[in-house]
A and B are shown apart, each in its own frame.
Chain A
Amino acid sequence: MKKELGIFVLLVVLCVVVSIKNPDFLQAVNLQNMARRIGMYGIYSIGLGVVIITSGIDLSVGSVFALQGIVMSIMLENWGWPWYLATPLIVVGVMALGWLHGVMVARVGMQPFIVTLCGLLIYRGVARFISGDRALGIGAGEYGVLKALAQAKPLGVPMPFVILIVVTAVMWVLLHRSVYGRYLFAVGKNEDAARFSGINTRRVIASAYVLCMALTAISGIIFVFDTGSIQGSNFGNFYELYGIAAAVLGGCSLRGGEGSVIGIVIGTALLQVLQNLVNLLGIDSSLNFAVMGTVIFVGVLADQILTQRRAAKQSVAH
């Protein structure tokens, strides 16, 4: 709870500072644009957070976006499949990749970093190959609901943000109020103790990868219809790292067992506000990554120092 509050205060301070320096920050267009981006990035970041809570990692997310986009474009544009057939197929297919990662990690016992790093390389390669390394378009036809997912603005609120709120609510209940959520945290902190308490740890771990890919698939559909064009070689590049950054900023520990859904969403928002800040304050956009990296670094460093101080105080009391 403390961690979320800290980063939330940071987010508010940043927003206030930017809006004083450049009132354009508060313009409806800018806010809508930011909300849309927070929505798109937030959905899969929550999924990544779930994997990180089990002390795993998923590096393949960005490449999955590319592969998913290319396949969707081919299904819808080249083969003319109806969207209501292609979409469930795509989501199930992406979840199957998550299941594969989960089996490799939980049953075979490979390291999550390695498994998903291979995924990152393989899916990117396959995406480039089947698209002939060309950019494919999507969204020229009538895709009704799908297009609306990315572009509709009910009551002026961008649809991706609405979806994020729904996903956040569902995932919050799942992680912080359900039996499954408690198991996730227990497995992430101490897999042995969880197993000795009768928890099917393998299934819990594998399911986290499936869940992550399910949310990735939803994000992916929105990204695809947001840009309308997919280049296999760079679509979704680095997106897994944005997700990991958001989760870590939001209080997840890469050692597992720690983190919260709200924290991850605030973390995502912070990253997007930072991007916006670089644009609005006229900072050279090539510094984009450097600004992001610095903020994450300082945030995590501050947290580390506070934790150590608290621990020192406790050990004196003993």
Chain B
Amino acid sequence: MTDALLELRSITKRFPGVTALQSVSLAVNPGEVVALIGENGAGKSTLMKILGGVHQADEGSIHIAGRQVTIRSVADAIKLGIGFIHQELNVLDNLDVAANCFLGREPLWGWPLRLINRPRIYSESETYLRRLGLNVSPRTPLRELSLAQQQMVEIAKALSQNARLIIMDEPSSCLTVTETDRLLETIRDLRQQGVSIIYISHRLNEVQQCADRVVVLRDGQNAGSLARGEISHQSMIKMMVGRDLKDMYVHGSGAKRPDYFQVQGLRTRAHPRHEISFSLACGEILGFAGLVGAGRSEMAQAIFGVDAPLAGTIALDGKPLTIRCANDAIRAGIYLVPEDRRRAGLVTEMTVRENVTLPGLSRWAAFGLIRRREENEVAVRQVESLRVKTPSVEARVLNLSGGNQQKVVLAKWLALTPRVLVFDEPTRGIDVGAKAEIYRLMRDLAERGVAIIMISSEMEEVIGVSDRIAVMHEGAITGVLDRTEFSEERIMSLAVGKAPVA
């Protein structure tokens, strides 16, 4: 193992009260793509923070090309040839591509004026962009690029810093399917050029496609590693959770009362020329598949009234509804679990109790004054029945993990009387264990007679959870599939607007 580019030897890191990492080892060879997977809290980010110099290991050592090194800051890491691509991009969208690439280490001339050597940054950026096959001018302002292109700029920046190892943390979390494919292609190209990659992702499909080796962490320890030939969903999940997850998806006992919830001719601001019509039975989970930007979230927000529909009728249990604002939908029992829970789902600085009772507050109030005991009881009941892991209902939501935050969003609605629940990407950024729990909750709700709409960009999830799948493309539904017709190919071809294959 002396020829490894990077070697972490039995790293241990303790925080007050917890051992985050217990003698974890990891080696990456030149030109190798290593996927690092594990549930949230398994220690992936702590390990990466040690590599980035944010934390120092209590025990163990880091070796680069056989030489022991100490990393005290991100700058140290960069000097050692380690580049980072984070989940949330670190770009300045008011500057252009070249300025972003060279931010903080601009080549200078004209001392003492310290002017930026503009010709040089433009020509050098150009080379790196070409190496990545990104066809944009280095003079393009970042804000004119798509998220995927901005991410490429970050990779170009890492390359321009002579990175020999690039660490990608959930790089595909905000990319569309085609963009993700492009990213995986880029990773293959980089490997050819001898660049090593540590790929951290919850998306096992991508891991399977790009990794030469998978390293699994569980509870801060090495849970094992899988060589190229051994990588499969089953083997990865088994190693991550330490058991089989056969019962991840639960099927329902069948839909009752067809046409319980009906949407006719709905037109949204994003796609005003397309009409959406569908219907949903009591106790049914209707999946909405499609590419990012197909208009699914806009449809959800129109049904929920936060972005009032331009036209169309919505009927629940045979009665037509007028929905002009979210409050109209809430009164009818139609609730939305939004895509971006930290922006739209929760007031994260407020407590669990305040978040849970926010939409129905007037129900637990008299003459505009909150009945505090009742409010508290409602919150406690929801936290207990959903098994939200929180020290108390008075804890602030921002201190909870992603899965528990999502449960708090759900608790807001379960404290009321849900009749139709719309989930928009319900398990984004949530680890495998919590995912299974969310799926089970959705199924329980359906069994109790709630009609459920689930928008998801994860193919596995849509196929595993839904009773029927509607596929959208550019603001219109291109097909609805029954369980017997489910297949990735059918969904993909409908999602890109092609006629369904037989």
Contact = CB atoms under 8 A, between A and B. Distances in A.
A318 interface: yes
Contacts of B329: 198
Interface string B363-374: 001001110100
Contacts of B346: 190, 193
A51 to B, nearest CB: 19
Contacts of B325: 198, 200
A196 B370 contact: no
B245 interface: no
A314 B399 CA distance: 9
A156 B306 CA distance: 54
Nearest to A187: B347
Nearest to A258: B349
Contacts of A180: 368
Interface in B283-318: 304, 306
A194 B16 CA distance: 36
B392 to A, nearest CB: 16
A196 B368 contact: no
B362 interface: yes
B306 A196 contact: yes
Interface in B1-57: 15-17
Contact of A190 (B306, B336, B348, B362): B348
B359 interface: yes
Interface stretch (A18-26, A171-179, A289-297): A171-179
Given A189-B347, A317-B16, A177 B369 contact: yes
Interface string A166-207: 000000010001111011011001101111111110000000
A182 B368 CA distance: 11
A260 to B, nearest CB: 15
Contacts of B15: 316-318
Q: In the complex, which of the residues A193, A197, A316 has the most CB atoms of chain B within 10 Å of its own CB atom?
A: A197
B326 interface: yes
Contacts of A243: none
B343 interface: yes
B368 A193 contact: no
Contacts of B16: 316-317
A177 B348 CA distance: 20
Interface in B342-362: 343-350, 354, 358-359, 361-362
Question: Contact residue range for chain A?
Answer: 20 to 34
A194 B327 CA distance: 11
A180 B306 CA distance: 20
Contacts of A196: 304, 306, 326, 336, 338, 344-345
B350 A185 contact: yes
A257 B354 CA distance: 13
Contacts of B345: 193, 196
Contacts of A178: 365, 368-370
Interface string A76-90: 000000000000000
A118 B291 CA distance: 46
B239 interface: no
Given A179-B361, A179-B362, A182-B354, A194 B370 contact: no
A51 B368 CA distance: 20
B330 interface: yes
Interface residues of B, number: 32
Nearest to B307: A195
A186 B347 contact: yes
A183 B365 CA distance: 13
Contact of A194 (B338, B347, B349, B399): B347
Contact of B359 (A173, A185, A197): A197
Name A's interface SS.
Answer: helix
Contacts of A318: 15
A2 B346 CA distance: 25
Contacts of B344: 192-193, 195-196
Nearest to A181: B370
Given A182-B354, A182-B358, A257-B349, A198 B327 contact: yes
Nearest to B375: A182
Given A186-B347, A192-B344, A179 B370 contact: yes
B272 to A, nearest CB: 22
Interface string A267-297: 0000000000000000000000000000000
B350 A186 contact: yes
B202 interface: no
Given A196-B326, A196-B345, A317-B15, A189 B350 contact: yes
B468 interface: no
A58 to B, nearest CB: 23
A182 B364 CA distance: 13
Given A182-B358, A316-B15, A195 B326 contact: yes
A20 B183 CA distance: 72
A189 B306 CA distance: 18
Given A193-B345, A196-B344, A182 B338 contact: no
Q: In the complex, which of the residues B330, B338, B347, B370 has the most CB atoms of chain A within 10 Å of its own CB atom?
A: B347
A198 B327 CA distance: 4
B412 interface: yes
A232 to B, nearest CB: 39
A177 to B, nearest CB: 5
B263 to A, nearest CB: 19
Contact of A182 (B306, B327, B349, B361): B361
Contacts of A194: 347, 358
B43 to A, nearest CB: 12
Nearest to A192: B344
A163 B344 CA distance: 40
Given A178-B368, A316-B16, A190 B347 contact: yes
Contacts of A177: 369-370, 372
Nearest to B55: A316
A200 B354 CA distance: 17
5 contacts: A179-B365, A186-B358, A195-B344, A196-B344, A317-B16
A-B pairs with the 6 shortest C-beta distances? A197-B359, A198-B330, A198-B327, A198-B326, A196-B344, A190-B347
Interface of B: 15-17, 304, 306, 325-327, 329-330, 336, 338, 343-350, 354, 358-359, 361-362, 365, 368-370, 372, 399, 412
Given A179-B362, A194-B347, A198-B326, 4 more contacts: A177-B370, A196-B336, A198-B327, A200-B327
Interface of A: 173, 177-180, 182-183, 185-186, 189-190, 192-200, 257, 314, 316-318
